[in-house]
């Protein structure tokens, strides 16, 4: 409100004075309203704290007994909608009895909250045509904040959220089969630590490039206010290239890619610029030193990059394709060199027993880019074994990329694809999506997660369900797929048992204490913005979760504490799934 007053009153000097008092009054009033909301909002009333698209379903959830609800306009508390709550449904995953408040019939854009007699009020939320655009912006800015090897500054929206260039010196670790300096400056810090890992970079960067390829029209015009903004390339591609350039540097002259570049062990909870441990290129410890999963993931992103950057930078597109071809050739000679942390290395492992799924994805992307039989032949020889991964979504993550490979093939616009194979992939994806829709409708919290989905990174699993549904919607458009994907987004943005927005600095009640070294360093007053928390984890894989009361249902095993790395860490792979989901839900 303050900014629109400001913009509409730039004219006369007298107006400026009036404006100042108006802005001041508004600031006082608006912050009073916000403070009022923040003080009295009841966690038992769960809303998407970002909001609800104008034309879609609009549902809030209530975990305290009540009968009716009102939707009130935030600016003047006027009642704009009244309704009855549905009958309570018991939710074993949270232990809550949940009622729904359906105000889908409210079709007027604005800012609102729910008032429930006997319970209280909710946090404020928006209803409008493009409610998720700013959250998309924030989530992409989250990647910018993870940039390594360059000074980062989140700008006037988040003053003081900056750091000088970090990790500018790198060397080969003895396990890499090489010696000496290898700076490899760039890339994104992977998660709450400062490591850079090829395998997780692959799924994250690949997902962002897909976001562009599938939803480019929706996001083309959204500026991310990053250093490259205005260079003629869409900003999501500018941001993805920051990591792609680092991935390309991880390729050896023989075509193979080293698995990761990290310090030997995780640093203390210090700012990036204070981490003085050596950044080391780490290999398998024995010939051929590079790993197949890392190399295949490089082939994946190189092949996609060759397509998507072609209109903006043909030289870079060609360089990416050349790297992808050489990476693929290396995996043909070394089809399954797996990675395990060598002795003395304690950073993240990102290990996998089989790299066939990464190779399948690489073959599909290379076939789609080049049309060459060597790639499509490999895909057609190996795809069938991965079809079951489509039946129980979400079938994809950094470790299991088979469904990404299948979808890459089925999404290809080439005329030379095998139509029967495409048909099978599409049918199985769509059938699974229908089952997810039915399950989500039956879930009292309207989330697609099953009890055993509340694992490390369950919020990423939630976003991946959204990805599955939106991809199914590309194969066979169905409003229920889009609505159910959005249900999962609503869960992440506050419509959950904790009434927490799980994206930092988004919504009126976001989580505050990510396991994230820059946020924990004490250099800034709050968490770095735009970052998705890992979410509830029934396996209790850290001391904070282990100390929670016995008998808690799975969706409640979460703690907004920095020390809970197993439920509250941020990570680029689930961040990328969030971006995909947000972009897909834009108009
Ligand atoms: Zn760094």
Side by side, which strands form the sheet with 59-62? 45-46, 59-62, 96-102, 89-91
554-566 mean pLDDT: 98
Q: What percent of the chain has pLDDT over 90?
A: 93
Q: What is the pLDDT of residue 40?
A: 87
CA–centroid distance, 522 to ligand 1, in Å, is: 17
CA–centroid distance, 161 to ligand 1, in Å, is: 15
In the chain, the N- to C-terminal Cα span, in Å, equals 23
CA–centroid distance, 232 to ligand 1, in Å, is: 27
Ligand 1 ion: Cβ-proximal residues, 5 Å cutoff? 148, 166-167, 272
**Helix ranges (DSSP H) in 48-165:** 133-145
Cβ neighbours, 10 Å, residue 68: 13
Backbone angles phi, psi at 262, to 5 degrees: -145, 175
Residue 475's contacts (CB-CB under 8 Å, 6 or more residues apart) are: 410, 426, 429, 430
Mean pLDDT, the chain, whole residue set: 93
Question: How far is residue 416's CA from residue 423's CA, in Å, rounded to a whole number?
Answer: 14
Q: What is the pLDDT of residue 395?
A: 83
Q: What is the pLDDT of residues 402-428, one digit of tens each?
A: 999 999 999 999 999 999 999 999 999
The DSSP 8-state label assigned to residue 68 in this structure reads E
Residue 261's contacts (CB-CB under 8 Å, 6 or more residues apart) are: 170, 184, 187, 195, 196, 250, 279, 280, 281, 282
Longest dimension (CA), the chain: 76
Cβ neighbours, 10 Å, residue 419: 8
Q: What is the pLDDT of residue 56?
A: 93
Question: How far is residue 142's CA from residue 18's CA, in Å, rounded to a whole number?
Answer: 37
**Helix ranges (DSSP H) in 402-546:** 402-410, 419-442, 458-475, 479-492, 517-520, 543-546
Q: What is the pLDDT of residue 36?
A: 45
**Angular region, 516: left φ>0, alpha ψ -120 to 50, beta rest:** beta
Task: Tell which residue, 304, 498, 504, has the closest CA to residue 401.
Answer: 304
Q: What percent of the chain has pLDDT over 70?
A: 93
CA–centroid distance, 404 to ligand 1, in Å, is: 29
Cα pseudo-dihedral 420, 425, 431, 433, rounded to 10: -150
Three-state secondary structure readout of 151-169: CEECCCCCCCCEECCCCCC
Establish whether the linkage from the previous residue to 288 is cis, with ω within 30° of 0: yes
> Rounded to 5 degrees, what angle do the CA atoms 387, 391, 393 make?
115
Helices 572-584 and 198-219, interaxial angle, to 10°? 20
pLDDT band at 220, cuts 50/70/90?
very high
Q: What is the pLDDT of residues 476-513, one digit of tens each?
A: 999 999 999 999 999 999 999 999 999 999 999 999 99
Question: Is the separation of the CB atoms in 167 and 279 below 8 Å?
Answer: yes
Record the tokens describing residue 315, joined without a space: 């030289």
Question: Is the separation of the CB atoms in 545 and 564 below 8 Å?
Answer: yes
CA–centroid distance, 189 to ligand 1, in Å, is: 6
Question: Is the separation of the CB atoms in 19 and 5 below 8 Å?
Answer: yes
CA–centroid distance, 339 to ligand 1, in Å, is: 23
CA–centroid distance, 194 to ligand 1, in Å, is: 6
CA–centroid distance, 279 to ligand 1, in Å, is: 9
pLDDT band at 39, cuts 50/70/90?
low
Question: How far is residue 443's CA from residue 453's CA, in Å, rounded to a whole number?
Answer: 13
Question: Is the separation of the CB atoms in 68 and 55 below 8 Å?
Answer: no
450-461 mean pLDDT: 98
- The answer, yes or no, to whether residue 21 has pLDDT greater than 50, is no
Task: Tell which residue, 474, 324, 463, has the closest CA to residue 397.
Answer: 463
194-222 mean pLDDT: 98
CA–centroid distance, 147 to ligand 1, in Å, is: 7
pLDDT band at 31, cuts 50/70/90?
very low
CA–centroid distance, 272 to ligand 1, in Å, is: 6
User: In this predicted model, which residue has the larger pLDDT, 49 or 15?
Assistant: 49
Q: What is the pLDDT of residues 135-187, one digit of tens each?
A: 999 999 999 999 999 999 999 999 999 999 999 999 999 999 999 999 999 99
Task: Tell which residue, 157, 194, 195, has the closest CA to residue 519.
Answer: 194
Alpha-carbon distances, residue 444 vs 241, 360, 554 (angstroms): 41, 37, 15
245-267 mean pLDDT: 97
Q: What is the pLDDT of residue 32?
A: 38
pTM: 0.93
- The answer, yes or no, to whether residue 11 has pLDDT greater than 70, is no
CA–centroid distance, 10 to ligand 1, in Å, is: 42
pLDDT band at 358, cuts 50/70/90?
very high
Cβ neighbours, 10 Å, residue 346: 11
- The answer, yes or no, to whether residue 584 has pLDDT greater than 50, is yes
CA–centroid distance, 167 to ligand 1, in Å, is: 4
Burial 121-138 (b: 16+ CB within 10 A, else e): bbbbbbbbebbbbebbbb
Question: Looking up tokens 């692959």, which residue turns up?
Answer: 202
CA–centroid distance, 460 to ligand 1, in Å, is: 23
- The answer, yes or no, to whether residue 324 has pLDDT greater than 90, is yes
The DSSP 8-state label assigned to residue 508 in this structure reads S
Question: How far is residue 527's CA from residue 531's CA, in Å, rounded to a whole number?
Answer: 9
CA–centroid distance, 166 to ligand 1, in Å, is: 4
CA–centroid distance, 355 to ligand 1, in Å, is: 28
Q: What is the pLDDT of residues 160-174, one digit of tens each?
A: 999 999 999 999 999
Record the tokens describing residue 200, joined without a space: 């997780």
| Collapsed DSSP state (helix, strand, coil) of residue 114 | strand
| Collapsed DSSP state (helix, strand, coil) of residue 62 | strand
Question: Is the separation of the CB atoms in 515 and 562 below 8 Å?
Answer: yes
Question: Is the separation of the CB atoms in 102 and 86 below 8 Å?
Answer: yes
**Angular region, 347: left φ>0, alpha ψ -120 to 50, beta rest:** beta
Q: What is the pLDDT of residues 428-441, one digit of tens each?
A: 999 999 999 999 99
CA–centroid distance, 345 to ligand 1, in Å, is: 18
Establish whether the linkage from the previous residue to 549 is cis, with ω within 30° of 0: no
260-271 mean pLDDT: 96
Establish whether the linkage from the previous residue to 394 is cis, with ω within 30° of 0: yes
**Rg of the Cα trace of the chain?**
24
Backbone angles phi, psi at 182, to 5 degrees: -145, 90
The neighbouring-strand residues paired with 445 are: none
């Amino acid at each position: 409100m303050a900014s629109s007053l400001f913009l509409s009153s730039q004219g006369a000097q007298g107006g400026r004075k009036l404006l100042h008092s108006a802005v001041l009054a508004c600031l006082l009033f608006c912050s009073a309203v916000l403070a009022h909301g923040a003080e009295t909002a009841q966690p038992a009333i769960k809303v998407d704290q970002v909001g609800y698209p104008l034309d879609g379903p609009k549902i809030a959830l209530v975990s305290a007994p009540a009968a009716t609800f009102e939707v009130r306009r935030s600016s003047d508390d006027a009642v704009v909608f009244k309704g009855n709550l549905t009958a309570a449904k018991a939710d074993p995953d949270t232990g809550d009895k949940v009622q729904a408040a359906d105000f889908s019939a409210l079709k007027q854009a604005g800012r609102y909250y729910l008032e429930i007699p006997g319970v209280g009020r909710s946090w404020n939320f928006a209803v409008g045509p493009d409610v998720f655009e700013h959250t998309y912006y924030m989530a992409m800015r989250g990647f910018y904040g993870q940039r390594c090897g360059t000074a980062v500054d989140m700008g006037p929206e988040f003053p003081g959220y900056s750091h000088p260039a970090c990790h500018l010196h790198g060397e080969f670790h003895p396990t890499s089969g090489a010696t000496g300096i290898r700076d490899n400056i760039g890339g994104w810090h992977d998660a709450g630590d400062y490591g850079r890992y090829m395998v997780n970079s692959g799924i994250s960067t690949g997902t962002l490039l897909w976001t562009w390829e599938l939803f480019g029209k929706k996001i083309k015009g959204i500026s991310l206010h990053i250093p490259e903004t205005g260079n003629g390339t869409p900003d999501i591609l500018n941001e993805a290239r920051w990591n792609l350039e680092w991935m390309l540097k991880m390729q050896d002259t023989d075509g193979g890619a080293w698995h990761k570049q990290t310090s030997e062990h995780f640093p203390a909870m210090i700012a990036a610029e204070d981490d003085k441990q050596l950044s080391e290129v780490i290999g398998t410890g024995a010939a051929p030193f590079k790993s197949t999963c890392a190399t295949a993931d490089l082939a994946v992103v190189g092949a996609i990059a060759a397509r998507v950057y072609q209109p903006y930078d043909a030289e870079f597109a060609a360089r990416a394709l050349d790297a992808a071809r050489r990476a693929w050739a290396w995996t043909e000679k070394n089809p399954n060199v797996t990675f395990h942390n060598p002795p003395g290395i304690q950073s993240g492992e990102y290990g996998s027993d089989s790299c066939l799924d990464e190779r399948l994805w690489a073959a599909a992307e290379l076939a789609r880019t080049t049309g060459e039989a060597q790639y499509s032949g490999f895909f057609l020889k190996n795809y069938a074994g991965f079809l079951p991964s489509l039946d129980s979504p979400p079938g994809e993550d950094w470790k299991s990329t088979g469904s990404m490979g299948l979808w890459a093939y089925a999404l290809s616009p080439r005329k030379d694809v095998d139509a029967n194979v495409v048909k099978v992939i599409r049918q199985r994806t769509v059938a699974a999506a229908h089952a997810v829709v039915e399950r989500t409708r039956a879930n009292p919290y309207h989330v697609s997660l099953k009890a055993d989905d509340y694992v490390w990174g369950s919020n990423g699993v939630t976003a991946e369900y959204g990805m599955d549904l939106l991809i199914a919607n590309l194969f066979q458009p169905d409003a229920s797929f889009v609505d159910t994907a959005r249900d999962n987004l609503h869960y992440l943005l506050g419509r959950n048992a904790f009434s927490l927005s799980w994206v930092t600095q988004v919504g009126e009640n976001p989580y505050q204490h990510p396991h994230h070294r820059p946020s924990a360093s004490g250099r800034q007053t709050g968490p770095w913005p735009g970052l998705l928390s890992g979410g509830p984890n029934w396996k209790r894989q850290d001391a904070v979760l282990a100390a929670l009361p016995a008998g808690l249902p799975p969706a409640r095993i979460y703690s907004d504490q920095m020390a809970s790395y197993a439920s509250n860490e941020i990570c680029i792979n689930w961040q990328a799934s969030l971006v995909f989901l947000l972009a897909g839900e834009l108009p």
